[in-house]
Structure 1
Amino acid sequence: MIKLYDTGAYLVNGTELVEDSGDAKLILRNMLGKDTLSREEAAENTIAYRILKNHNTSGNMEKLKIKFDKLTSHDITYVGIIQTARASGLEKFPIPYVLTNCHNSLCAVGGTINEDDHMFGLTCAKKYGGIYVPPHQAVIHQFAREMLAESGKMILGSDSHTRYGALGTMAMGEGGPELVKQLLCQTYDINMPGVVAIYLTGEPAKGVGPQDVALAIIGAVFAKGYVKNKVMEFVGPGVSKLSADFRIGVDVMTTETTCLSSIWQTDEEIKEFYRIHGRTSAYKELKPGKIAYYDGVVEVNLSEIRPMIAMPFHPSNTYTIDELNRNLDDILADVEKRAKVSLGGAVDFTLKDKVRDGKLYVDQGIIAGCAGGGFENICAAADILKGRSIGCDEFTLSVYPASTPIYMELARNGRLAELMETGAIVKTAFCGPCFGAGDTPANNAFSIRHSTRNFPNREGSKLQNGQIASVALMDARSIAATAANKGYLTAATDLDVEYTGPTYHFDSNIYANRVFDSHGVADPNEEIHFGPNIKDWPKMSALPENMILKVVSEIHDPVTTTDELIPSGETSSYRSNPLGLAEFTLSRKDPAYVGRAKEVQAAQKAIEAGNCPGEALPELKPVFKAIHEKYPDVDKTNVGVGSTIFAVKPGDGSAREQAASCQKVLGGWANIANEYATKRYRSNLINWGMLPFLIDEGELPFKNGDYLFLPGIREAIENKAGEFTCYVADDGLKEITLKMDELTDDEREIILKGCLINYNRK
């Protein structure tokens, strides 16, 4: 079904792979009848390399400085981004910037604060020359597909699922500060990423959908880190067997592999997508050169993919539905074992009580958002459910079309009525079910969703309140088959269905009549709407000469998601209030964190006021005593006091910058990890002036509550150090070593100045 190559490979004429073995050059010569390109020359023939080269401003393809063509954000990120940019001197959006409203769009909790954010967004779009998409019109990524994507271009979005590679657009999801840099005409700085071919052959079986293909790929590559921080380039004869919607459905899920970005070869199918949306000029044929070299290959036989399910609590915990149904006891036992790690024993968790007469019963089905809410997915679900009923027991089914144009076409072609007749509920474009702000299941309920993630609490339950529900990811087709079977888990391939494949007609009048588009014209006289919950960022100090860090949380889970660092769901209402949101930091993983961090922060505030930190935090007095035995000159004039956390592998999942900024506003000055799950989380730490330390795997030389002392930390950063002398201050000084991967010159300066705002402040 899926094969991972142990080496790189050459792709010849877009169809044939030659592994990079000792006789590769001979094989290539025999195929081509002439001398071939070097590996380095062939690497320049990937689609990814060419797009990156066209957007690189450094003149050095090893050290990229990228300028994007367009930006996009949603309503739990754009307020913080614009506030940061305003504090740094923003006068006008220099490139098209789209502000969508698909996360806090319900305006259901928190009084006026969510709609205040929307009015902030609209007035900023007017003032700075942007585009504003009102609530319920479209989820962020569907609007980008319909109205922004262009072959060969690059888009940066403040959402981790910013992926438009199927349309020939290289798109990346990053934390807000990276968008701030683009708004200030700065660059996105990375080393040239590796490029991995996702080589597709065959074609999907009837009933197999894009989520099935995506989950199969994620399950094969995630644990191995095979594509981590690399570009996934989809090539091969199987690409032409997939519709545009199908490709989009696979592409959006590439985020869950931890890749940097994705890109696909384009063809007439994608040209037709652009034609349907009235943007034929946005199409350009993209394909690898005659000989292209890839750093790795994921070979996928689409014909062998079967309906898949990702069991709690990660998209990589994958099985075929048939495999799960055959081995229910064993797999459910494994899920319970994983739950003990993911949930930390906070609640009792089991799915074994969902087994009825040897079948797995599901309480809820959701087809939604940027992954599931596409036209073809919903039409296929309607075909499966036509003339059936979802029943009148616990099982419910909700469907969220990804945009109003899709919703309108479903109404016009009758699929909307067919779905509603079954008992399904069809709702407006909304991302809530994907991040815990919509259709939260009952306690102990089990939900199957064609959405993007199934992390703990991602569906909205709260461990700290004794609540637990769980999500499995599936394709819309198998969710509909399960609904047709009254909630008993069923693969779509088990049903004999005639898929009608209706033609999609896009109506641009919806957006023309409702979306505000400044066409790049700023109005400096426009007054920005500020609600009472929209707050400025607090003052942040520059990196001190020496540093004392208290470890205030210690997390030993194999992976820590950004949802666990700063919970999603109802907390999103406070995303425009840095101090208010910070109160939720680690609340579902380590509820004592906020109190501990604030205690340490009091010491730093005392220093900034010219007072003795030991008076604000008496437990520092023996720490200073131990430090003075070796460093007698360290005092309140040359030291800073902050907090840090240890996590094995933090930062998987969402791009939200608040996973870092919330720690920062509570006095956090560093993270310590064995590795960082994603480039974007590490970038978030750096942009908020936090040190992304690494420590070798093994038994930690410190524990939660310990103090660490880093002498000369500022000088070490200035001198581009990769290793740092650190002491555990516990009845004396015990020396340990912390490490740090390479920083760019700009990143180093951001850390020295304390954060991106300080770096840019005029």
Structure 2
Amino acid sequence: MVELIKHGVYLLNGKEIRDEYTGMTPDEARENTITYGILRAHDVDGAKGKKMRIRFDAMMSHDITYVGIIQTARASGLEEFPLPYAMTNCHNSLCAVGGTINEDDHVFGLSAAKKYGGIYVPANQAVIHQYAREMMVKCGNMILGSDSHTRYGSLGNMGVGEGGGELVKQLLRNTWDINAPEVVLVWLEGKPKKGVGPHDVAISLVKATFESGVVKNKVLEFAGPGVKELPIDFRNGIDIMTTETTCLSSIWVTDDEVKHHYDIHERPNDYRELQPGHVAYYDMMIRIDLSQQEAMIALPFHPSNAVTIHELQADPVGILTRIEEDAKKRFGTKVDVHLVDKVVDGKVHADQGIIAGCSGGTYDNLAEAGAILKGKSIGNDYFTASAYPQSTPVSMAVTREGITADLMEAGVVMKPAFCGPCFGAGDVPSNNGLSIRHTTRNFPNREGSKPGQGQLALVALMDARSIAATAANGGVITAATDVAYENTHKPYQYDDKIYKCRVYNGFGKARPETELRYGPNIKDWPTMYPMAENMLVELAAVIHDPVTTTDELIPSGETSSYRSNPLKLSEFALSRRVPEYVGLSKAIQQQDLDRRAGNVSANVAEALKAVGANAENTSFGSCVFANRPGDGSAREQAASCQKVLGGDANICYEYATKRYRSNCINWGIVPFTIAPETTFDFQPGDKVFIPGIREAILEGKEEIDAQVITANGVQPIHLFFQNLTATERQILVDGCLMNYYKNLK
């Protein structure tokens, strides 16, 4: 169904694919992709070089990220939002921890929208990406979002998810700096069979690409005859999940279906046709035959861990046993996983079904689910089901069309627009409960999981259609392709009256006299020090997992209430993966504060003596070693919490995503890497001394010799810090992005 073609191809006239073409070089023809047409138009340098400095047309944030972004920008000299910036309230809206803490953030957001000229979308009006689809996208534009699933390519608008520091740069009229990316042609053929939905295609795409990293930091460009067979919600559902391939962004050809989207949203002038040029070059190709797509299930603990539902039905014990064994490898004896118990009479029984968020709560998904469940019942046993329309316009449409009634009569609980089920702040499963979800992720340490406390939620991703088929079968996992149903619901009718009533649109109308409204939990960033001449770091966490997610670096869910309080939030850093990390980091940080006051601890003095260094020009901070950290969310707190606790560096083989690496840089954490052949057996408590690091970074060097100090002596190690821009180097030396901007004044 998904074929990877790992060599370059030419696309002629948008129809003919060739391995070779003599009339144009790859570099010349790559400029004719839709991707490069958009990127070059947003590159402030205006040259066809290997580096790009991008300015975006609009930005998006939600209520886990916008307070920190505005606080950072304010400390850096922000006076007015220079571009449309929409702040939605879809992550913290239902989390009750901390009393009024969440609502304090919302009030702060509205006051900031008034003061600086922003767009404020109140709680439960829309999830971030649906509001962007309805109100912010334009063909040929680019949107930057502080959420990893910022993807609007199916609507002709390139979306990029980054950490808050990159949004701060845009607010201060700086740029997003990248290497000119490779482009991957995703060629769609055929037409999906009845019962197959967008999550089935997306899961298959992620399965084919994630583990090998074959599309990492590349742009996926969708084209081919199969595109016209997909309604816009179907395209959106595939597009939003491209994040899980680790690609940089995505873009699709546009057609009458996309034009219809802009027409019904009363923005016809924002549509334009996007097609590759007559000769376009792509660095590789992915061919997807939609007609061969089967109903899929992505099993714990990653969207790429996928099989067809029919494969699961054929070997449930074998497949679920492998998941149990994986859990034991990840968590040891901390949790006792019983997935095989879900197999009763040869059939797998789920405990919960959820359709929600930017990927699941679309009108078409809910209409299909309603058609499958019409006149049926989910039963009165352990299985439960909830559905979250992704915006109030979608909620009104499914209500007026009777879809809500069909779902509710079957026993599905209808809830307001909210992202919580995706990250553990809503519909958290019971311990050992198997939840099937049309949401974006099923990582470990997510959806309420607390392995350190013996709590583990087991989440599998499925399309809304198969979730509905399962619900109609009392929780027995069922492929929607195996059930008979007829969807007679009318096409989506958009109505934006609620937005006109409730959304504050202040772009271009800044009111600088407005006072920001602070709650007691909204705190400024603590002091962060510039880089010293030499660096000494102690490993406060050593993680040997193949991939470390941002949910492990800073948990989601119950931590949401403290996102605006750097000190309180940092208490959760690595709490579900390395519980001792916070205490160790604090102890290291205190020793550096003592050093600055002239009181060098025996721990630091002994290490410095071992390498012949002195305390006056050598900082002491904490460090995390992981094989491949940063997969998942764009939330900058995965890095800022390390910095708040005195983190100076990370060491790894590679960073799972650009956005996490960017977050580290913007918070003054040096993103060191080591060569693949390096086999050093790091242990917690080991120290790494990096002499002359400040000078090396300022001089543009990309590697340095360092020394590892262990209980057995001192050993050499070679560290890399490659592909840093001049600005990024200065940010690191200054200690963080805020310090950088302060020093520019």
> What is the TM-score with the length of structure 1 in the denominator?
0.96
Whether 1:706 aligns to 2:706 is no
> Which of 666, 670, 679 matches 2:645?
666
For 2:95 and 2:334, the matched residues in 1 are separated by 31
Q: Which amino acid aligns with 2:725?
A: T
The answer to whether the 8 Å contact 1:396/1:424 transfers is: yes
Residue 311 of structure 1 is matched in structure 2 by: 299
Instruction: For residues 447-479 of structure 1, give each alpha carbon's deviation from its aligned partner in whole angstroms, at most 9, with x where no partner exists.
Output: 000000000131112112211111000000000
Residue 750 of structure 1 is matched in structure 2 by: 731
Range with bigger deviation, 143-152 or 498-507 = 498-507
Whether 1:234 aligns to 2:215 is no
Q: Which amino acid aligns with 1:52?
A: L
- In structure 2, the residue corresponding to 1:234 is in which secondary structure? strand
> Which of 418, 434, 449 matches 1:461?
449
Whether 1:54 aligns to 2:41 is yes
Residue 522 of structure 2 is matched in structure 1 by: 534
Residue 675 of structure 1 is matched in structure 2 by: 654
**Pairing 1:120-199 to 2, within 5 Å after superposition:** 120-199=108-187
Deviation of the 1:623 alpha carbon: 1.1
**Pairing 1:16-55 to 2, within 5 Å after superposition:** 16-19=16-19, 24-25=20-21, 36-55=23-42
Residue 76 of structure 1 is matched in structure 2 by: 64
1:107–1:702 CA distance, 2 compared to 1 (3 A): closer
Deviation of the 1:501 alpha carbon: 4.5
The answer to whether the 8 Å contact 1:612/1:636 transfers is: no
For 2:475 and 2:681, the matched residues in 1 are separated by 50
Instruction: For residues 208-263 of structure 1, give each alpha carbon's deviation from its aligned partner in whole angstroms, at most 9, with x where no partner exists.
Output: 00000000000001111111001000011111110111000000000000000000
- In structure 2, the residue corresponding to 1:656 is in which secondary structure? coil
Instruction: For residues 488-544 of structure 1, give each alpha carbon's deviation from its aligned partner in whole angstroms, at most 9, with x where no partner exists.
Output: 000000001112242111111110000001132100111110000000001101111
Residue 614 of structure 2 is matched in structure 1 by: 635
Deviation of the 1:650 alpha carbon: 0.3
- In structure 2, the residue corresponding to 1:543 is in which secondary structure? coil
Deviation of the 1:657 alpha carbon: 0.3
Whether 1:402 aligns to 2:390 is yes
Deviation of the 1:701 alpha carbon: 4.5
Q: Which amino acid aligns with 1:645?
A: V
> Which of 601, 605, 609 matches 1:625?
609
- In structure 2, the residue corresponding to 1:601 is in which secondary structure? helix
For 2:143 and 2:294, the matched residues in 1 are separated by 32
Deviation of the 1:344 alpha carbon: 4.3
Q: Which amino acid aligns with 2:561?
A: S
**Pairing 1:311-710 to 2, within 5 Å after superposition:** 311-608=299-596, 610-614=597-601, 618-628=602-612, 634-697=613-676, 698-710=678-690
For 1:640 and 1:754, the matched residues in 2 are separated by 12
Residue 737 of structure 1 is matched in structure 2 by: 718
Instruction: For residues 133-152 of structure 1, give each alpha carbon's deviation from its aligned partner in whole angstroms, at most 9, with x where no partner exists.
Output: 00000000000000000000
The answer to whether the 8 Å contact 2:204/2:306 transfers is: yes
Residue 98 of structure 1 is matched in structure 2 by: 86
Deviation of the 1:18 alpha carbon: 1.2
Instruction: For residues 187-222 of structure 1, give each alpha carbon's deviation from its aligned partner in whole angstroms, at most 9, with x where no partner exists.
Output: 000010110011000010100000000000000011
The answer to whether the 8 Å contact 1:74/1:100 transfers is: yes
Q: Which amino acid aligns with 2:638?
A: A
Whether 1:298 aligns to 2:278 is no
The answer to whether the 8 Å contact 2:202/2:241 transfers is: yes
For 2:325 and 2:11, the matched residues in 1 are separated by 42
For 1:234 and 1:39, the matched residues in 2 are separated by 19
Range with bigger deviation, 107-116 or 401-410 = 107-116
Deviating 4+ runs (over 6 angstroms) = none
Residue 260 of structure 2 is matched in structure 1 by: 272
Any stretches of 5+ residues in structure 1 without a counterpart? 26-34, 629-633
Deviation of the 1:284 alpha carbon: 0.7
Aligned residue pairs, count? 740
- In structure 1, the residue corresponding to 2:334 is in which secondary structure? coil
Any stretches of 5+ residues in structure 2 without a counterpart? none
For 1:357 and 1:506, the matched residues in 2 are separated by 45
Range with bigger deviation, 484-493 or 451-460 = 451-460
Deviation of the 1:624 alpha carbon: 2.2
Range with bigger deviation, 107-116 or 411-420 = 107-116
Instruction: For residues 299-347 of structure 1, give each alpha carbon's deviation from its aligned partner in whole angstroms, at most 9, with x where no partner exists.
Output: 0000001001100000000111001111112211221222123334421
Residue 32 of structure 1 is matched in structure 2 by: none
- In structure 1, the residue corresponding to 2:93 is in which secondary structure? coil
Instruction: For residues 397-428 of structure 1, give each alpha carbon's deviation from its aligned partner in whole angstroms, at most 9, with x where no partner exists.
Output: 00000000000011111111111000110000
Instruction: For residues 29-62 of structure 1, give each alpha carbon's deviation from its aligned partner in whole angstroms, at most 9, with x where no partner exists.
Output: xxxxxx6222222111100000000000123431
For 1:706 and 1:531, the matched residues in 2 are separated by 41
Residue 759 of structure 1 is matched in structure 2 by: 740
1:501–1:197 CA distance, 2 compared to 1 (3 A): farther
The answer to whether the 8 Å contact 1:341/1:557 transfers is: no
For 2:88 and 2:202, the matched residues in 1 are separated by 26
Q: Which amino acid aligns with 2:624?
A: I
For 2:31 and 2:584, the matched residues in 1 are separated by 51
Q: Which amino acid aligns with 1:755?
A: C
- In structure 1, the residue corresponding to 2:492 is in which secondary structure? coil
For 1:460 and 1:294, the matched residues in 2 are separated by 41
Instruction: For residues 654-684 of structure 1, give each alpha carbon's deviation from its aligned partner in whole angstroms, at most 9, with x where no partner exists.
Output: 0000000000010000110111100000000
For 1:212 and 1:707, the matched residues in 2 are separated by 46
Instruction: For residues 540-581 of structure 1, give each alpha carbon's deviation from its aligned partner in whole angstroms, at most 9, with x where no partner exists.
Output: 011110111001111011110000000000101100000110
Give the RMSD, CA atoms, in angstroms. 1.1
Residue 29 of structure 1 is matched in structure 2 by: none
Residue 718 of structure 1 is matched in structure 2 by: 698
For 1:101 and 1:399, the matched residues in 2 are separated by 18
For 1:732 and 1:554, the matched residues in 2 are separated by 19
The answer to whether the 8 Å contact 1:660/1:681 transfers is: yes
Deviation of the 1:7 alpha carbon: 0.5
- In structure 2, the residue corresponding to 1:558 is in which secondary structure? coil
